Structure 1
Amino acid sequence: MLVCLLDSMISVHAQAADAWSAGYHELTFPDPLDSQPMQAIAFYPSTGSEQSSIIQGYRVEAGEDAPIAMGRFPLLLLSHGNTGTPLALHDLATSLARQGFVVVAVVHPGDNDRDHSRLGSLSNLYGRPLQISEAISSALLDPMLSPYLNARQVGVIGYSAGGETALILAGARPDLKRLRQYCLERPGDRDACKTQGELVADRDDLHAQADPRVGALMLMAPLSLMFGRHTLGDVHVPVLMYAGDDDQLLAIDRNAEALARKLPQAPDYRLLAGAGHFVFMAPCSDEQRATAPLLCNDPDGVDREDIHRTLSAEAVRFFTTALSAADPDRSGMQTAHHQ
């Protein structure tokens, strides 16, 4: 009977893949730094009709609490950049959901588009990974989501400072001296060195804490200059990494390029010609282009929509393979995806 039930679930999962839409479900759980409520949005495969929703000003192709598809799906956590919002990456999240992943997009307290109170502090550096870990636990206990999650297949997507967060979760340890030295060498880097290379020491009880549940990382324009070869020595999960060679915000020679050389296991690294830092954000509406041209407009010859189609397809292939390897006993339950 059990074998028949599992076979039935696998069959429904595979058959439904082409027809899945995306749903979303809001999560609230305690911030591990101060026990205050923090938020995340889970995007998941749905058997409901295609819906479009407005979430905090973003038009997102997902329906709130739409019926969830049958299956046991891999869990991906999304960590946004400094002062950002995970909704800026909504198209990647919904694309992955349609292909059979549950993507929990976390809003980092004190470091998001509405609240900058922890920016430049140790509590932010070390607290962000703790918040992702708490989000994993919350999703695995959520009454709606937990029956459909494979707890042994967990990955993290990190954009910009979210890349730093993801690396810590995989075992990297920031070296604060590297930030100080970088800012002595390049004081003109207004983003990385806005505090002259010194982080506010507001929580001396915090430290880098890895999460052994994390089995794969996807990094986009990662902030990673605080990691040297020795502090990356414990990162042994597969990594898919992207950067733009015209990134005006993060110096790629000291971030993505250096990271690609220093990781113990060589990442699958893609350098996008002509692309800037913000190309990884979802393609903008006309209104967004008018109000936020820096975030929305790309150089001539850079097709953000085409890049995002490729990103989504490659993310599906990467996580399907990497997380199957992390959980060989249940690889048959892996998400089906378009060929």
Structure 2
Amino acid sequence: MRCLFFPLPALGLALLSGLAHAAMGFSEISAAAGDGPVTVFYPSSSEAQPVRRGPFTLDVAAQGTPVRGNGRLIVVSHGSGGAPWVHADLARTLVDAGFIVAMPEHKADNYKDNGNPGPDSWTMRPAEVSRAIDAVARDARLAPLLQFDKVGVYGMSAGGHTALSLAGGRWSPAAFLRHCEANLEGDFQTCVGLITRLTGSWFDRIRKWGALFVIRHRFADSTPREHQDPRIVAIVAGVPGSADFDMASLATPRVPLGLITAQQDRWLVPRYHSDRVLAACLPRCELIADLPTGGHGALLSPLPPGLTGLIGDMLNDPPGFDRAVLPEVDRKTTAFFSTHLLP
């Protein structure tokens, strides 16, 4: 398959090999009251062992002894209904380069509780990222190994929406409503999630009416949402949700911004989302990788097995997509952070 990448800086190449001998440590730490746990991956001197988490087996040093890496933290914001484990391959590449990786559990929009995805969650997520940084900064084992003046953020899907917010993007629930009123059929899964789908039958009229009824009832607030954290100085957004952003606010990102796109994404259709962001911010942002045959779940690595029904249709790989390209995407992402976070 064709896969487009930007050149890997020499600095990134050197750093990627720096800690490849260390195991990947794994632990959970507590965040602020009311927040879920923060899962942390880090370089460790302890021995890695297979650890089972859901359908995944991770080769990690659970509660292993942390060792000093490059002194920088990356926070990963998961997608709707997401879990830390689906970003474990990216975490390993980042840890091998010396980064510590923290993954907050976004409230009511995670694999244990997906009761309130969408604009309500998108409003809360950026502050949850900031509180995850605070949590790591309080941790007695990890905080001494880090400097917190230069933190990176990676987000995928709804996490990509979080990333764009932290990059200076402004959005509002009312903008989400306007988008769905104008593009409901073309971007149906963005507007309704995984509740239902269009089938081409006469019942689609009822589905669309019901979707707009709920959205109009819940998302009329036009107050702009924005969140800044001066510690965050480099951001990567993977297949981000972005149709509700004021693109003028992303024309000049407040920090270096990289994007990863997948042209066969049917959950966040590119022409409404990532293509709009790129049109607004290039050349002031970077296209880290474009996956012409990748779907919405292309950046989930490992991909959850056995997905069926609508969620399977949205996340399973389209025909022709080769997952062998993903380690290179992870290396490019790591090099982006190395370039912008390391001295």
Q: Which category of TM-score, normalised to the shorter sequence, fits these structures?
A: 0.7 to 0.9
CA shift at 1:294, angstroms? 4.0
Cα displacement string for residues 80-99 of structure 1 (whole angstroms, at most 9, x for unaligned residues) = 11122232111111221122
Aligned match of 2:64 in 63, 66, 70? 66
Letter in 2 for 1:95: T
Given the two structures, how large is their TM-score scaled by the length of structure 1? 0.81
3-state secondary structure, aligned to 2:327: helix
Contact 1:221–1:242 (CA<8 Å) still a contact in 2? yes
- Aligned residue for 1:29, secondary structure, equals coil
CA distance in 2, matches of 1:15, 1:272: 25
Alignment match, 1:141: 138
In the alignment, is residue 158 of structure 1 matched against residue 155 of structure 2? yes
Give the alignment partner of residue 127 of structure 1, picking from 110, 119, 124.
124
1:41 to 21, 39, 42: 39
Task: Say whether residues 1:254 and 2:272 are aligned partners.
Answer: yes
Give runs of aligned pairs for residues 1-339 of structure 1, distance below 5 A.
Answer: 17-30=19-32, 35-122=33-120, 124-188=121-185, 189-194=187-192, 195-196=211-212, 197-198=215-216, 200=218, 207-232=225-250, 235-263=253-281, 265-284=284-303, 288-289=305-306, 293-294=312-313, 297-304=316-323, 306-324=324-342, 331=343
Percent of pairs identical after alignment? 26
| DSSP 3-state at the match of 2:72 | strand
| Cα 1:220/1:121, change in 2 over 3 Å | closer
SS of the residue aligned with 2:276?
helix
Taking structure 1 as reference, are residues 205 and 66 closer, same or farther at Cα in structure 2, changes over 3 Å only? farther
Distance 1:29 1:103, change over 3 A: same
State the Cα deviation string for residues 99-120 of structure 1 (Å, max 9, x = none): 2111101110111122123223
Give the aligned CA root-mean-square deviation in angstroms. Answer: 2.7
What do residues 274-300 of structure 1 show as CA deviations (whole Å, max 9, x unaligned)? Answer: 110001111347xx2476854664233
What's the CA shift string for 1:43-77, capped at 9, x where partnerless?
Answer: 00112233221124421221211121234521000
Distance 1:311 1:104 in 2: 19
Q: Normalising by structure 2, what TM-score?
A: 0.80
Question: Cα offset for 1:199?
Answer: 7.5
| Unaligned residue ranges in structure 2 (runs of 5+) | 1-14, 193-210
The one-letter amino acid of 1:25's match is S
Matched residues in 2 for 1:273 and 1:205: separation? 36
Q: Which runs of 5+ in 1 are unaligned?
A: 1-12, 325-330, 332-339
- Aligned residues, how many? 305
In the alignment, the residues of structure 2 paired with residue 130 and residue 97 of structure 1 have an alpha-carbon distance, to the nearest angstrom, of 24
Q: Deviations over 1:99-146 (max 9, x none)?
A: 211110111011112212322343x22211110100011101111110
Relative contact order: is structure 1 or structure 2 higher (C-alpha 8 Å, sep ≥ 6)?
2
